[in-house]
Structure 1
């Protein structure tokens, strides 16, 4: 074997291909019986000189006979052979040739050998080229893909196959964008198409590369691509080389995040604003959820404890991209003392960051008092201290759940740097928060902290205090359960600001709860509130006579009662903005209601109107600060509110947040209360209604119907008591209703509700019967057998209602429905 060997040729060709290799045929005795023109060219022997002669004698040097005989023996044994042997040319030189030999059988005793030969250096070159190509496609760590002119994949190497999670065979014929999420696929296809059309190569271009099978897994690649052409310049396709640079991209992004945070955190001397800027800077680039907890003393503007982060903390800011995580987090403003051993408690006590690459959220939530959550929900957590001047102000908790990669030490270093910069701004701002915090505390104590869960509505609410340290206002909202599975929705606004407005708001809220317990119609409730506001105004005039101060002389209010059985909502308003109704189809409009005068004018009537709300309608109640904002044009504000609430169905919490973000981009000049309620209906099988004639047989029929219905509901254990209740109520209605029809209704939801309606306006009263009285004990029996009972009046008569608790199940749970 002689001559130089080039490692990689421009276009490797098979040396054994037709026209490049020599062809020789030998008979069974080793005589040459076939000799190609290419054989003459390579070794110099003509066909006339070698035909009929032994091949060993003509073509092999005597010194090489042993090697050739050994190869011949192997060839005979295997009926074929491949290897390299020395060949003697006509000039006497010895050249190495790669030989492929195969036995050819022409007849039973006529066997020949067909040999194909090529110079050994060409064979070696070809093998090297094949090895390099094989290495690129099988062992190279850099991804390689070859596409045709339609960008369909002709071949990919194993590196790209590993990135895409497919085999080379599965990828063939597809476009590379078929395996990516749509947005990333468009970027990749556009880049390759440009290379194919212009011929300009793409060099180290970074692109997002999220696989369609794992859309939540972040990945970035560096792509280089060039156009493939044949010898004549015809375009055959495009080839691209792909390298995973996710780690490098993340490092640059972390540096950019630090730079951006330095400019965006600490723009104001407000603790809450600074904390919110911190969580916004970290979500979602660093974490899916970030919360800031400050020591309660720091949140009030006081000095932090010098001995370390001991004591309760207040949730100052929180931002999350996942509803699941939000459900497990304390709300902003909540004061907590984290149990010993939790990551938060360890960070607070030591002043050192804590990294939990994998933490069971269900266990952590139970430790923090959230109750039971689905087990096995795993997240990654970092808790870093907020330290300034050597003192711990609080800590930042960072959660990751959307991305499968847990937090690493580099993430902890970045989070610690972010926290250190934010802590300096927080320490500068805390001195200015004491008065503002005191005002907010007063407002929140007067507003409902938790709204009841009710089967008639799903509610979401927002309360935004006015800007400034003295922005205490009188806006309020309420959700009040009523009899018959109904619910009252209330929003009100006391005129003015300050302590007097807040105190008046608290008294009005209490009055509304009292009036709601009387089951009055909305217009009657507003009439009573009107009288109360007049009395409060008179009291205040006496309190501040001769002294300067703000006088609260009025208020507005909207009171609505929704019945999930009839789907009717009765609404009355006193000088308050009308509600917005969103249909299940997503159409939003302002409800047409009688306006009514503001509370406190006295003597003017209020009027109720009824709306029929299909299931999954949304009723929006709000105060004027939401729609007026910085502009006094309420019509424009109402139009914008309808626009933001319209559209596809979404959770009321998401809708409420969208309203706040759209309508209140900054802290408002006036207090804002927002209450959204999505209407529900009771299933038809949960309500049973019968009309009974006012005759002596009515009680017996009512008992029979009740027993049958309770059996159908699986409440046989309640039959005896309920029959007694129904019998007493129907008997009273028959005796005193004046001959009108009676209506019996049973409702099966969180409690068993029994209602008997008649046309009489007289109300039954509970009294103590003397031993000589024949009657008067029925209502006493009803009161003993029920959890609650009462009477509500309507224009057509009255309804006496009772509520019974379900008997406990064997395991101790309530026997009623889950809803």
Structure 2
């Protein structure tokens, strides 16, 4: 029986040997050499569980102690090579690695490390692949198997990417060259595998190590065996070097684009100006969207962003993942009206505003109300009677804001004119969450409503912008049915789910931007959360310290007890002295973080102040701020919670 193409990360039907398929081992290492994330592939390759590696120096994984780790020169953004590592059972493993350097918007530097682990060969591939690839496609060539992992790359392709074929073999294109263009190209390759039809796309990408961008015409062709089955995809990239309008690196500088649009050159080469403006907008859009998703334990998350094609240009769609206090996480998806630089700039403002409002723990409905006021003020400040169509300031923007709490497994949602999220239960039922729509942002005077639901552990949440459902080929009901079908199909990873959704709903470059955020809920069970009700009596502070020490011993975190005792003592004392009963102490152990929360019935928030030399009090919150990784206040309908997070890395 002919074997159907499979999605990346899934085993083809009929495979008898479990775990025999190729996979990618992934890990993240901080700039200080400490492992911050350890993927399932890495655990499978070396035998170490995540808890045995995360928070410890990566050098401990080297096969020979004392041998220096591979050297990386200052300013280097990528490294590749073979490293001898030590398996958990003690044996030596030679592992080819490819590492990419990432810098977050906050300035944190991390290295994303990947290694392709090959599965058993099903058939002799080399000879037919040589024949198919070089017989059917010219130019810079690469061949990917049905799982979209690289099999072959010719000399031109190796030169363009500055990697040898051996260094790339077994990796997916986004793992070889992390970039939105790679994500879009991989999505098109999946269409080739599934439909057997060729795909074409154009992109401006700089060759590795160069500043100047080149225009590339990329052809994706199916490679078939004698029976007509698609066995692989050939990627052929044609350099359009010298094409009119191919932008230079200096055109990508936003300030120069805004203040010196080169009117003379635009009049002489209008097509070149349009390409430069499109490239500038794309660059701005990419810089404002999350480069990497933050580390948190409440949700497993995957995301995709596809810019609009055609004459409309890049719009203002955005998404975000924001860790909150109490191990909670906020998910945001929004859509700014319009396209071009103004829409992207407005999107950046709103994304920053959402993160600022989320940082003070506003409920979803209040956050949208503040965002609504902000857009009204922006519109008034930017009003230009001569160009009214460019002065909207974000009026009509839609936004969906979701907060998930892994302790209660409750999800709180509010939306402003945005499509509601889709939910897939662990049993496979799928539905749209019933959330009152609320008006789009910027209209003012109308309320937003919040809905709170409990989601079983393992539920799937899908947040998206309307560009996903507005393809030309189908109406809204048909698009929703297609979306539901793609979400409910079993998949090994959320990245596979994202790719399936885009493949099912988009058969061509979308007419509007598409942002997609898919999350699977996790739960913090009772063994990771403990709560005590405390009387409003100063003598109970000693009991609170004792409760904390005993619980940390039960969690095998004795080394963290000293700092935790001090934090608990100060927060409980503060609640007794300045708050109102009832008082409650809660400890949460989430991965590498210990969270201490003290709640009371007073709504008055404490303020950190500098105590004078002879003051007897006033130093508590200052001490908490010095000891905790971060701290803050969370208000509730009745009362407040003061929380502090303590890092457990190294304990």
Q: TM-score, normalised by structure 2?
A: 0.64
Residue equivalent to 2:122: 217
Q: Which moved more, 1:768-777 or 1:593-602?
A: 768-777
Structure 2: runs of 5 or more not aligned: 1-12, 17-118, 183-206, 209-213, 219-232, 248-274
> What does the per-residue CA deviation read over 1:151-192, in whole Å, with 9 as the maximum and x for residues that have no partner?
xxxxxxxxxxxxxxxxxxxxxxxxxxxxxx9699xxxxxxxx
SS in 2 for 1:700: helix
Question: Do residues 330 (structure 1) and 177 (structure 2) align?
Answer: yes
Q: Cα offset for 1:507?
A: 0.3
Residue equivalent to 1:403: none
Q: Cα offset for 1:761?
A: 0.9
What is the distance in 2 between the residues matched to 1:742 and 1:786?
19
**Structure 2 vs 1, CA of residues 584 and 261 (structure 1 numbering), >3 Å: closer, same or farther?**
same
Structure number with larger C-alpha Rg: 1
SS in 2 for 1:707: helix
What is the distance in 2 between the residues matched to 1:635 and 1:665?
17
Question: Do residues 595 (structure 1) and 595 (structure 2) align?
Answer: no
Q: Cα offset for 1:629?
A: 1.9
Q: Cα offset for 1:430?
A: 5.2
**Larger relative CO (CA 8 A, sep 6+): 1 or 2?**
2
**Structure 2 vs 1, CA of residues 644 and 509 (structure 1 numbering), >3 Å: closer, same or farther?**
same
**Structure 2 vs 1, CA of residues 766 and 675 (structure 1 numbering), >3 Å: closer, same or farther?**
same
SS in 1 for 2:469: helix
Match of 1:445 among 262, 283, 287: 287
Q: Cα offset for 1:708?
A: 0.4
Q: Cα offset for 1:432?
A: 5.8
SS in 2 for 1:576: coil
Match of 2:391 among 551, 563, 570: 551
What is the distance in 1 between the residues matched to 2:427 and 2:332?
25
What is the distance in 1 between the residues matched to 2:641 and 2:169?
48
> What does the per-residue CA deviation read over 1:109-148, in whole Å, with 9 as the maximum and x for residues that have no partner?
xxxxxxxxxxxxxxxxxxxxxxxxxxxxxxxxxxxxxxxx
Residue equivalent to 1:655: 497
Q: CA RMSD in A?
A: 3.8
> What does the per-residue CA deviation read over 1:205-240, in whole Å, with 9 as the maximum and x for residues that have no partner?
xxxxxxxxx974316xxxxxxxxxxxxxxxxxxxxx
Alignment of structure 1 residues 566-577 onto 2, 5 Å: 566-577=408-419
Check the 8 A contact 1:734/1:742 in 2, yes or no. Answer: no
Residue equivalent to 1:611: 453
**Structure 2 vs 1, CA of residues 433 and 457 (structure 1 numbering), >3 Å: closer, same or farther?**
farther
What is the distance in 2 between the residues matched to 1:394 and 1:663?
26
Q: Cα offset for 1:716?
A: 2.0
Residue equivalent to 1:340: none
> What does the per-residue CA deviation read over 1:484-515, in whole Å, with 9 as the maximum and x for residues that have no partner?
11111100000111221111001001101111
Q: Cα offset for 1:743?
A: 3.5
Q: Cα offset for 1:454?
A: 1.5
Q: Which moved more, 1:476-485 or 1:551-560?
A: 551-560
Check the 8 A contact 1:615/1:679 in 2, yes or no. Answer: yes
What is the distance in 2 between the residues matched to 1:752 and 1:589?
35
Match of 2:570 among 723, 728, 732: 728
What is the distance in 2 between the residues matched to 1:792 and 1:624?
33
Q: Cα offset for 1:781?
A: 1.9
Question: Do residues 426 (structure 1) and 211 (structure 2) align?
Answer: no
Check the 8 A contact 2:215/2:241 in 1, yes or no. Answer: no
Alignment of structure 1 residues 407-426 onto 2, 5 Å: 422=236, 425-426=238-239
**Structure 2 vs 1, CA of residues 474 and 395 (structure 1 numbering), >3 Å: closer, same or farther?**
closer
Match of 2:327 among 485, 488, 510: 485
Check the 8 A contact 1:590/1:642 in 2, yes or no. Answer: no
> What does the per-residue CA deviation read over 1:82-119, in whole Å, with 9 as the maximum and x for residues that have no partner?
xxxxxxxxxxxxxxxxxxxxxxxxxxxxxxxxxxxxxx
Alignment of structure 1 residues 153-164 onto 2, 5 Å: none
Check the 8 A contact 2:327/2:590 in 1, yes or no. Answer: no
Check the 8 A contact 1:294/1:314 in 2, yes or no. Answer: no
Check the 8 A contact 1:558/1:572 in 2, yes or no. Answer: yes
**Structure 2 vs 1, CA of residues 638 and 793 (structure 1 numbering), >3 Å: closer, same or farther?**
same
Residue equivalent to 1:815: 650
**Structure 2 vs 1, CA of residues 437 and 698 (structure 1 numbering), >3 Å: closer, same or farther?**
same
Check the 8 A contact 1:293/1:395 in 2, yes or no. Answer: no
Q: Which moved more, 1:732-741 or 1:702-711?
A: 732-741
What is the distance in 1 between the residues matched to 2:636 and 2:458?
27
Check the 8 A contact 1:686/1:749 in 2, yes or no. Answer: no
**Structure 2 vs 1, CA of residues 429 and 597 (structure 1 numbering), >3 Å: closer, same or farther?**
farther
**Structure 2 vs 1, CA of residues 746 and 443 (structure 1 numbering), >3 Å: closer, same or farther?**
closer
What is the distance in 2 between the residues matched to 1:730 and 1:656?
45
Q: TM-score, normalised by structure 1?
A: 0.51
Check the 8 A contact 2:334/2:465 in 1, yes or no. Answer: yes
Check the 8 A contact 2:297/2:590 in 1, yes or no. Answer: no
SS in 1 for 2:240: helix
Check the 8 A contact 2:149/2:169 in 1, yes or no. Answer: no
Match of 1:641 among 483, 486, 490: 483
Question: Do residues 767 (structure 1) and 609 (structure 2) align?
Answer: yes
Match of 1:796 among 633, 638, 647: 638
Q: Cα offset for 1:395?
A: 14
Match of 1:778 among 609, 620, 636: 620
> What does the per-residue CA deviation read over 1:25-52, in whole Å, with 9 as the maximum and x for residues that have no partner?
xxxxxxxxxxxxxxxxxxxxxxxxxxxx
Residue equivalent to 2:526: 684
Residue equivalent to 1:742: 584
Q: Cα offset for 1:545?
A: 2.6
Question: Do residues 565 (structure 1) and 419 (structure 2) align?
Answer: no
Residue equivalent to 2:343: 501
Count of residues paired in the alignment: 461
**Structure 2 vs 1, CA of residues 777 and 655 (structure 1 numbering), >3 Å: closer, same or farther?**
same
Q: Cα offset for 1:516?
A: 1.1
Question: Do residues 629 (structure 1) and 466 (structure 2) align?
Answer: no
What is the distance in 2 between the residues matched to 1:653 and 1:770?
55
Q: Cα offset for 1:670?
A: 0.4
**Structure 2 vs 1, CA of residues 432 and 761 (structure 1 numbering), >3 Å: closer, same or farther?**
same
> What does the per-residue CA deviation read over 1:661-699, in whole Å, with 9 as the maximum and x for residues that have no partner?
111111000001001111112243222222223334331
**Structure 2 vs 1, CA of residues 285 and 607 (structure 1 numbering), >3 Å: closer, same or farther?**
closer
Residue equivalent to 1:75: none
SS in 2 for 1:628: coil
SS in 1 for 2:239: helix
Alignment of structure 1 residues 121-140 onto 2, 5 Å: none
SS in 2 for 1:690: strand
Q: Cα offset for 1:260?
A: 4.2
